[in-house]
Amino acid sequence: MSAVSRAEYCVIACAEAWRDAGEILASPMGLIPSVGARLARSTFSPDLLLTDGEAMLVAPDGTVEGWLPYRQHLTLVTGGRRHVMMGASQIDRYGNQNISCIGDWTRPKRQLLGVRGASVNTLNNPTSYWIPRHSRRVFVERVDLVCGVGYDHAAEHPETARFHRVPRVVSDLGVFDFTTPDHSMRLASLHPGVTVDQVREATGFELTVPDEVPYTREPTDRELELIREVIDPGKTRAREVPDRETG
Amino acid sequence: MSDKTMSAEEAVGRLESGMTLGIGGWGSRRKPMALVRALLRSQITDLTVISYGGPDVGMLAAAGRIRKLVTAFVTLDSIPLEPHYRAARERGALDLMEIDEAMFLWGLRAAANRLPFLPVRAGIGSDVMRVNPGLRTVTSPYEDGETFVAVPALRMDAALVHVSRADRRGNGQYLGPDPYFDDLFCEAADTAYVSCERIVDTAELTKEAAPQTLLVKRHTVTGVVEAPNGAHFTSCAPDYGRDEAFQKRYATTPWAQFAARFLDGDEQAYQSAVRSAAGEAT
């Protein structure tokens, strides 16, 4: 098999978010998280539930196994049996996320999507993030509007935020988590070909970097085959993270 | 037996400036666009609009009809950012009550149940509380003592929704994969106007579809409007999908130019302008 592309490491890193998750709904947003969720479902997390992106619960081959219109989806969110991977226009060192607008909310410099379900997601079920282009514009010291709740704000509301958890942030450079004493962001793994300096350069706040940073794991041959031939033969993953020369 | 059928003009004729208007559908999916177009042809303005926003919000914002918007997002789905809504926000043209998707739903449920609020575990710890200083919290009276947002009822003067089929009395049926929240909009409103692809006899409604598809009940409906292709250019499965080419044209054409070509005439003129545009490259 040809060399593993950056997009394929990203798929593996996203899929790992749903390892040992059990019988819950995987809600990936974005192309690469979708490939990752289907990969996890097809391999090490066979009990995951997946949707078709609309109102049906489907097997990886598209077989309908259930109905999940938005009104029931929101109950599933508040019931907690779900792990969502959202996007983020901005994310800060405590995992606060913004998808609403850039600048002052009363008259934004740039209006984005709106708060959507970020707030209900983060208070009710594990919420991870996927960021296809790691930069200082996204990884900021402080987000302009807190949509998804981060660890510092969750700590101020211990009862209401008792289900709050941000397991991981995956970007095109690596994997990040919040397993530090103050729940600030930590570099958990680098995708092969990426250096610590590169990550620091692209991050707008002080990141915790362990002495030894592992690389994101290699996909197995079976996983590569599934990604390339079954789940994403059209190579949509390269639209989010283009193939490029390393080094 | 009351016949509630009326034209889109008659339905809009019962609305007034300054009203609070709920609009059904979701994003760029099964929006009552023919009713929105009729609203654009009227002089009605100064509206408070409650919507899981799509091009309904974009068009009304572009035309300057919205004083205040209550929403969790505005999107065209396949085009993530609604350009006309974006422009309106960036020029400070409307007031906004921005709440989470779940807060929005709980607000609809509160209104439909005639409750002043419902508690929801969303919003706490986020800036939704900062940008909505009027939002209050409520603490559980039981031993858990947990604090929630008390989402106020989203009560509305009128609701506009679009469904697949309806009878003349206002029983509305959806035939697509998702009901969205159209029944709740009708229940949360003092009056509700339901447009549909086709008006059929009551007995026809359950001939080919299960009774569970009968989403909107007639006691919540004021007027029924037959509007074939009435959700265009949003999707109305299974009758039609989203008109992506036309949506792209809407999103990339300056508003004045788009409105002059497609919205100056009546609904029939709109549908024929859409048909002639379909042959052109966008």
Tens-place pLDDT, residues A42-60: 999 999 999 999 999 999 8
Chain B residues inside the 8 Å CB shell of A54: 177-178
- Contact partners, residue B102, CB within 8 Å, separation at least 6: A74, A77, A78, A117, A119, A120, B120, B122
The confidence band for A247, taking pLDDT boundaries of 50, 70 and 90, is very low
- What is the reported pLDDT for A241? 97
Cis status of the peptide bond prior to A176, with omega within 30 of 0? no
The pLDDT score that the predictor gives to residue B281 is 66
What is the pLDDT at residue B173?
A: 98
Q: Quote the CA–CA distance of B242 and B154 in Å, as a whole number.
A: 28
As a whole number of angstroms, the distance between CA B30 and CA B36 comes to 12
Tokens for A207, please give them. 């990141």
Residue in B180, B275, B187 with CA at minimum distance from that of residue B232: B275
| Paired tokens of B12 | 């809009």
Stretch A64-80: mean pLDDT = 97
CB pair distance less than 8 Å for B86 and A160: no
Optimal mutation site among A97, A113, A119, A166, interface B, most CBs of chain B within 10 A: A119
Among B2, B108, B5, smallest CA distance to B52 is for B108
User: Per the CB < 8 Å rule, is A157 touching B123?
Assistant: no
Q: For residue A12, name the pLDDT band (cuts at 50, 70, 90).
A: very high
- Judging contacts by C-beta atoms under 8 Å, the chain A residues touching residue B100 are 115-120
Place of tokens 């994403």: A232
Condensed to tens digits (0 to 9), the pLDDT of residues A219-232 reads: 999 999 999 999 99
> Quick one: DSSP state of residue B212?
G
Q: How many residues does chain B have?
A: 282
| Residue from B100, B139, B182, B187 whose CB has the most chain A CBs within 10 Å, to mutate | B100
3-state class of A229 per DSSP? helix
Contacts of residue B26 in chain A, CB cutoff 8 Å? 70
Q: Is the dihedral of CA A32, A35, A39, A40 positive or negative?
A: positive
Per-residue CA distances from B187 to A71, A105, B109, B110, B179 (Å): 15, 32, 9, 10, 14
Q: Please compute the mean of the pLDDT values over residues A119-130 and round it to a whole number.
A: 98
Nearest to A170 by CA among A11, A19, A46: A11
pLDDT digits (tens, 9 = 90+) for A173-209: 999 999 999 999 999 999 999 999 999 999 999 999 9
Total Cβ atoms within 10 A of residue A202: 20
Give tens-digit pLDDT for B79-108.
Answer: 999 999 999 999 999 999 999 999 999 999
| pLDDT for position B1 | 67
Q: Are A116 and B101 inside 8 Å of each other by CB?
A: yes
Core vs surface per residue A207-227: b (16+ CB within 10 A) or e: bbeeeebeebeebeeebbebb
CB-based contact A70 B124, cutoff 8 Å: no
CB B233 within 8 A of CB B250: yes
Nearest to A3 by CA among A230, A218, A238: A218
**Residue type for position A16:** E
pLDDT of residue A46: 97
- Strands (E) located in A45-131: 50-51, 56-58, 64-67, 82-86, 90-91, 97-98, 101-102, 110-111, 127-131
Distance from CA of A116 to the nearest CA of B (A): 5
Give, for A224, the enclosing helix (H) or strand (E).
helix A221-225
Range 70-99 of B in CB contact (< 8 A) with A: 71-75, 80-81, 85-86, 89-92, 98-99
Residue B174 DSSP one-character state: -
The stretches in chain B having pLDDT less than 50 are none
B33-41 and B267-278 helices cross at what angle (nearest 10)?
A: 120
Helix (H) or strand (E) holding A41: helix A31-42
Q: How far apart are CA A74 and CA A128, in angstroms?
A: 17
Which amino acid does the sequence have at B2? S
Task: Please report, for residues A165, B55, B111, B120, the alpha-carbon distance to residue A123 in angstroms, rounded to integers and kept in the order given.
Answer: 8, 30, 24, 10
**CA–CA distance, B150 with B152 (Å, rounded to integer):** 6
Q: What is the residue type of B236?
A: C
Q: Which of B64, B90, B27 has its CA nearest to residue A111?
A: B90
pLDDT of residue A33: 98
Using a CB-CB distance cutoff of 8 angstroms, which residues of chain B are in contact with residue A164?
125
Alpha helix (H) residue ranges in chain B: 8-13, 33-41, 55-62, 83-90, 101-112, 128-131, 182-187, 202-205, 244-252, 255-262, 267-278
Cα gap B96→A144, rounded to integer Å: 17
